[in-house]
Amino acid sequence: MKSIVLLCLIFLVLTSHANDSPKKSVQQHTVVATSGNQSFLSSFIKGGQLYLDIPDHLLDKSILFTCYGRMRRSYMQVAWSKHYGKIVLKRQAISSTSGIILPPSNGLVQMDNILAIFPIETADDTPGHHRVNITDFILRQDIEWPQKMGVSLQNTVPKLSLLLGAKDMDNEVLIKTQRGMIKNKSKVSVPIFFGFGALGPPMESRSFDFRMGFYADEKMEVRFGLKNGAANIARWRLEKKYPDQEISVPIKPITFLISPEVPKKWRPYLKAGIEEWLPAFESAGFKDALVVKEVDSLDQWQAHSIHSNVVYWNQRKYFRGSEYEDYGGTLGHIIDLRTGEILRGDIFMGASERTVCEKYFVRAAPLDKRAQRFPFPDALTGRLFQVIAAHEAGHVFGIMDANFGEYHYPWNKMNDSLWLRIMGHTPSIMNYTRTNNIPQPEDSVPPTLLLQKVGPTDRYNIQWAYTEFPADMSAEDKRDALERMVRWQDSVPWYRFNINQMEVVGPNASDEVVETNDPVKSTKLALKNVKRVIGLIPEVSSGQNEDGRMERLYDKSIQLWNNHMLHVLTLVGGYDIHYKALGQPGDQFIPIPWEDQMEALDFLLENALEAPEWLTEPPFLERTGYSTFPDHVMHYQQKLVLDMLTARRIKRMENLEKIPDQEGLVNAYIERLQDGLFKELKEDFGHVDRRRQEVQMTYIDYLGMVFKQKETVMDIQSRFFVHSDYSKGIMMQHLLDLKKEIENRLKRNKESATSAYWQLCLKKVNSVL
């Protein structure tokens, strides 16, 4: 055992020598799994007080301090030390194998920070051990965890806090409490588990690469943008049991426990969703890398052990006010920040049956007869839960929510059963693509091929992150091998990754629809199915004693229609994205051809800003409506107009004007957009309906807002939201042209039925100018 500890210390010292002088002082002592002759912490409760016995050999050694909320996980690296007659608990800075120090608190340039100070219980002090009472620390102290999305223990209410138990496990102590706190302005007492656990020897890390879609070690706490910061990716410790074999079982597979709270009929589907990833791990050289166990009982201590990974069935769906929350699931991680090793990963299945079934209906009902009647068969509902489980499992393995390979699948393959069986309709289960609604009923695509599944890009990602290299392979050769794998993206475009950088730069970054290499063509096909869905709503809503289902399905259909329009809009001012390192040839952002952008604009003018009657006035609304409010279609139309004119979109067009022979694109775009919005001015004063009047007024109002924008010279970031003076000038000129057009038409058509409306438009334009 001593030799293992010594090897760990040598490793940390050697890695610190590679860094500059301030880092050379980092020599963290790491606790490895203790054997029978060296105990870990031990606990006991006496008189309602919680005591810990700390052996001498653990003093000044790094251990893991964890906290488990209902759906949140928090953790930090800490150490116990002795200071005269007291024991001090410190949160430590972490010496990452990536060559950087993670401070104990943001902006704190020191190697540790005190969390708590405890007097030693001298009456119970025995040689080689120190006893402390940690009751107040666990129940009453506001502990600040480093994870932004972790457990919040602020606003403590001590009178509502209870100590419920403690248990000593293998190299781990778990503590069960009921913590009083203020949440949502109410005093509540919620179950919280704490844990202290041993840290094993650091695993071999893999460096973060911005071109791959993996979490950096600190996940939500760090963002590097389009550059490689000093960090490791988050991944599991998978090591071959037989290193000489091309494909070997792992020494320790990633094991999941399906919680007993999961209804039995859904357990096989959650298991199948996780096991969809087995071939991906085989591509990295691991056979049977995943084990999923269904259990009928789960001890509360085992459920909260650092050594368990649990699939939970979120209980919120059974409580009023949360029963139909519209989200699929989420996850919780505990990570060893020295290397990025994922120590624990939990899946929380959140969606209700109603939610998953109604979402599937609005996309697939015309293509799957099983979805044309509620309730769905269990076999179909189970497969919908399987998709969610597969997606959340991808997060557990370290892969982010992002956009993988979008805008590169052929649009005309989305109804090809052979393609769909092998490749799927989207390259990755991690994309927010949802169900395939591009095939037409006459294509006879089997319904099983409409659902998302683990795809080729997922297998590629796992291969890059988890492939184990020979022990005698040099670090430089490993880096070269990983770089070659990244460069596969040069020839396989659907391997590419990109993530939203505060704006949707192009069609690679769409969500909620099937993203193909021709958004206009695929949207035309999808809209045919949206129309069919709306036609099916009355039938599936019959027999209900209220209109709730009908209204929900109609609202979801409108949302889907809007998402398709937003997908087409990504072409306008859009770029194809391919993240590249400095040495890679070619640009990272390739402009969408101008003719494709204008085709998209024309499509939106015709199909979005002039919405079809089958969407805006379905017959079933006649019996339920009594007002033009709310008009969700018009709301989305107005938002679409604003999105077409945002500063970030116009500035991308300004950048396109730098290309030779591409001058005047902003002017051409605004002219075409305005002409399409106000096409009635070029006609014989035809009717302008209520909804279209609102859309036109939205355009004028927004230009007025643009003209009032003020730039802060000293704050460059604020300019992201502010139009340039160049574009403001173009917009001003076109608004002046609009004024003249309205005046000229009013002169010739004073008695028109819509003349009063045009007078109102003119008044609005004059107020803006």
d(CA 517, CA 596): 11
d(CA 590, CA 35): 58
User: Where are the extended beta strands (E) located within 463-566?
Assistant: 497-498
Question: What are 96-153's pLDDT values in tens digits?
Answer: 999 999 999 888 999 999 999 999 998 776 788 999 999 999 999 989 898 877 788 8
Domain ranges, ordered by start, for the chain: 2-201, 254-577, 589-768
Strands 310-313 and 341-349: parallel
3-state SS class at 387: helix
Question: What are 54-96's pLDDT values in tens digits?
Answer: 999 999 999 999 999 988 999 999 999 999 989 999 999 999 9
Strands 172-183 and 162-169: antiparallel
- Residue 328 tokens, joined: 């699929």
pTM to 2 decimal places? 0.92
Residue 33 confidence class, pLDDT cut points 50, 70, 90: low
Question: What are 348-406's pLDDT values in tens digits?
Answer: 999 999 999 999 999 999 999 999 999 999 999 999 999 999 999 999 999 999 999 99
Question: What are 528-556's pLDDT values in tens digits?
Answer: 999 999 999 999 999 888 899 999 999 99
- Residue 676: the pLDDT is 96
**In this structure, what DSSP letter does residue 560 have?**
H
d(CA 698, CA 692): 10
**Residues whose CB is less than 8 angstroms from the CB of residue 240 and which lie 6 or more positions away in sequence, other chains included:** 248, 249, 250, 251, 285, 286, 468
SS (H, E, C) 63-132: EEEEEECCCCEEEEEEEEEEECCEEEEEEECEECCCCCEECCCCCCCCCEEEEEEEEECHHHCCCCEEEE
Range with lowest mean pLDDT among 87-101, 152-166, 434-448, 636-650: 152-166
User: How many secondary structure helices (H) and strands (E) does the chain include?
Assistant: 20, 21
Mean pLDDT, the chain, whole residue set:
91
- Residue 148: the pLDDT is 78
Residues β-bridged to residue 575: 591
Residues β-bridged to residue 66: 75, 195
Residue 591 region by backbone torsions, left for phi larger than 0, else alpha for psi between -120 and 50, else beta: beta
Task: Return the H-helix or E-strand segment holding 181.
Answer: strand 172-183
Instruction: Tell me the one-letter amino acid at 357.
Output: C
pLDDT of 711 higher than 90: no
Please give the biggest Cα pair distance in the chain.
104
Q: What is the mean pLDDT of residues 741-768?
A: 87
SS (H, E, C) 258-295: ECCCCCHHHHHHHHHHHHCCHHHHHHCCECCCEEEEEC
- CB distance 570 to 507 below 8 Å: yes
What is the crossing angle of helices 690-708 and 755-768, to 10°? Answer: 10
SS (H, E, C) 626-658: CCCCCCHHHHHHHHHHHHHCCHHHHHHHHHHCC
d(CA 743, CA 737): 10
**Residues whose CB is less than 8 angstroms from the CB of residue 121 and which lie 6 or more positions away in sequence, other chains included:** 51, 131, 132, 133
